[in-house]
Structure 1
Amino acid sequence: MATLEDRLLGEKLQYYCSSSEDEQSSPEDDDKVDEDQGASGSNKILQDAAIDCGSKELQPWEGSSTNTGPKGVLKDWRNYKQMETEKRKEKEKERIQLAKKLALTCRSHLEDEKAEAAQNEDKDDVDSLLDAAVLESYIAQRMQEMMEQAKLNCSVKFGRVVHLKSTEEFLKAVDEEDKKVTVIVHIYRKDAAGCDAVSGCLACLAQDYEHVKFCELSATTAGLSSKFVVNGVPALLVYRGGLMISNFVRLTDSLGDDFYATDLESFLVEHGSLPDRTLVPASCIRSSAADAGDDSDVSLDD
């Protein structure tokens, strides 16, 4: 036990224990010690639990929650209502589509009269088009428009046979001509069978097909082989845009030694080298060669 002097001097002898004090401790003191130990033990448990919670890592949310609180219930209710709304919209669309398929179309009496009048009008138009006179007039009009357009596209006119005296002139006549102009070159040899007939026919065709360029070139001047000079003439070479589109070697095999301009014209039309004049209305065909004979300069000399 501390004396009065010790207490006045401030010496804390209560921190020091002695055998006498331990032996004289009361039951109340023992209860107090037990309470202190219990409090310290509970604090230690709480600290250990806090350490355990801090050591665990937070896991990412996987789309579902086990929260059954007010927030979790409200979220689930909203998702449910959204799904119900989407299902209701889909059913409504399906119902509308089914109604459109099963709906019976009906028209009023006025609409029926209008439809009948339109059908009668279309029928009258078809009947008028089937009329031979109307068809002929329409075809003539369209052909006239096409011929005028062709003349605008090809304003160059020849109307005679061009005699080529060298290979340079031949290349110039073929390569430097307008791409829309058809160039027909006659390869000939003097005194060869059929060459004079071809020359005379080209002179006539040149006046009828003013937009086609007809030329003549001697086989010897062109530097062709002797075999071709003997067996290949008369020959026609057809060019357009600098490219050969047709070639006819030894025409006498197809037309014979003597033939007319109409025979050669039919032959070229059949092979697509000349346009077919029979498909052009009479009003679109140019005047005969006799009307323009004075204006055309046709020469058959080399």
Structure 2
Amino acid sequence: MLKRRHAVYIISRCFASRLAIVGSGPAGMFACNGVLRRKQDVFVDVFEHSPVPFGLVRYGVAPDHQEVKNVINTFDTMFEKNRDRLRLFCNVSIGRDIKFEELLDNYDAILLAYGSYKTRTLQIPGSKNTKNVISGSEFVGWYNGMPNISAPNNLENVKNVIIVGNGNVALDCARILSSSKSGDGKLRISDIPNDRLDLLEKSGIENIKILGRRGPENVSFTIKELKEQFKVEKWSSKIEISPEDQQKLQNLLPTLERKKKRLTEVILKNSGKSQGERKCQFLFHWVPKEVIANKDGFIEKIRVENVEKNGQEIEELPCDLLIYSIGYETIVLDGVPKNEKKMIDMKDHCRVNLPNSSVYATGWCAHGPKGVIVDTQQQSIFVAEEIVSDFENAENANAPPKTLEILKSRKIPFLSWDAWKKIDNEERDLGKKTGKVREKLTQFDRPEVYFKMESKILDGPNVGYCSSSEGEEEDFKVVKDEDEHQANVMKKFGPSSNTGAKGVLSDFKAFREQTKLAMEQKNQYFLEQAKRGMMMGSKEEREKAQKEEDEFELEESELDEIRRKRMLEMKKMAQNKIIEIVNKNQYSDAIDGSNKYLLAVLIYEPENEECAKLTYLCKVLAADYGNVKFIRATSRLLGMSDAFRANGVPCLQFYKDGNLIGNFVRISAMLGQDGDVAKLRKFLRKQHIDLINGGYASDSDDGDDED
């Protein structure tokens, strides 16, 4: 019988679609995962301009937010499971190393998902050439270990820091700076590189001021990030607002929607004057007007103006480090159309307005820098659906892309998935020595280890989208020439009854028939097990059913009665264990309370068979795991899009300490038609969801659960 990976390869010569994804951050990877799961005969190449993958997740998310970075585990699984049809090309810049037009020539579709990585500059006198005036994204990239970013100068002499901006990037910068001087050691177990943390801990920082141009009602902070700043030990963090602003916020409270109202309540609760040796102050209605440097070219002061006083109130604040976080600019690749706002010209929500081509865009590069990773994920799911739908209606596919030949001819060193795993494993091993998640490498100047030219890997496992599993088919070799490759396949597995396209279809038909037969046999086994009372229930219940069957030769009707009683018992156990949410406030309150428990949220659609089945499975889990609180809500109640309601349910989310640690869209597709409680439990373990202890498990295995 044909091995599946080889059958897929042969079919691909005539029928497969080829997708190029520009960007390996969350937008591109969520979309990639969606396409691969929905369409088996598609091959994907991912291009990343950085030396290593995962973009914002690796270099943007704060090191003390490891629960957010854990989404990398999902991407890792995606690459490992799809080695025969998914390739990674890091250190390859589209526009510099490969032209956009060359992607159009080599792929059936292109997805742009490269984010917004150009920071808006601070356009005030003295800011351009003065030392220690840096952007927020530059500072975030530095402490996250991004290559080729220098540390702020003379951090040991920095006492006063001013941060311009009222968004989460500004908060991240303030929190990392203050946490490094708190002495609680939390950053020491994160993935912040040790050399970066050493410099931060040796700094002389005592005062941090966060300046906002507008009032406190206009901040773009999220509640979680704002609360975290007030919890930093040995620091007095306060929001300093005028009596007029305080009264204004009080008057606004009854009119605000739930999320904004809670944020405003946090602001009011933490308003006042900062006291103590180390202070973090939130100041409003101030804008920077001029940077004043000392004789050595370092920033010494910053002149600011109160916008409410029409230029009548100007102050000079001492400043040794100025960090500005005032937004991002979207970069449009050469060859991609621009609109009047100098952003990508979009035909609709996901398609680029480029005639006679299939070009898509998602994430920040398409819609601007807004939203968090969960928002990006929902966008990407929709885009994946559209790409697959368009592929199904396409007439022809391109020939295999000549990406490797192009890179070889231009002598462009790139990092493949296998090379990245070497780095990944090395970082994790280095981290274990000091009790950290990982110790990031910050320089990639070892090409003999990390970067492999195409000429060295033409016969390797990641070429031609085809590889043999380790330890099997060792004499099967992937070669560059496709005809010779197919000849090798046929020599190994025998000739087809026909040649050409008919032979391909014949082989694939035989393969599908074999698969169908195996599935029927598996289903028959499950049916027999169900009759014997072996499918559902706890370990004790299954043992009881088995013992009863061994001791008595029961009639079919008696078995039915045992099953009926067991189901009634399980329903009784699970009664009131899964709570129906009827408004968004209950949903928000449950997430807020997830510091006391692990919260499982089932998002469903009424009268949906898959949702009904998952509801039952969740009820069984709710009866078994007391540390997990299960709730469910309709997708319409939570304001999900039409595309999500049609294609994203059932969705199972997990929250801990207010953070999203698991988001499994269309989870029924992941479990398969024969998905049961045991399979769901095992799936969640693989995704690091710890149902027993009610939290996130940093390590998991593929073994069965305790049942």
- TM-score range (shorter-chain normalised) is 0.3 to 0.5
Say which structure is richer in strand: 2
RCO higher in structure (CA 8 A, sep ≥6): 1
**TM-score, normalised with respect to structure 2:** 0.16
Bigger radius of gyration: 1
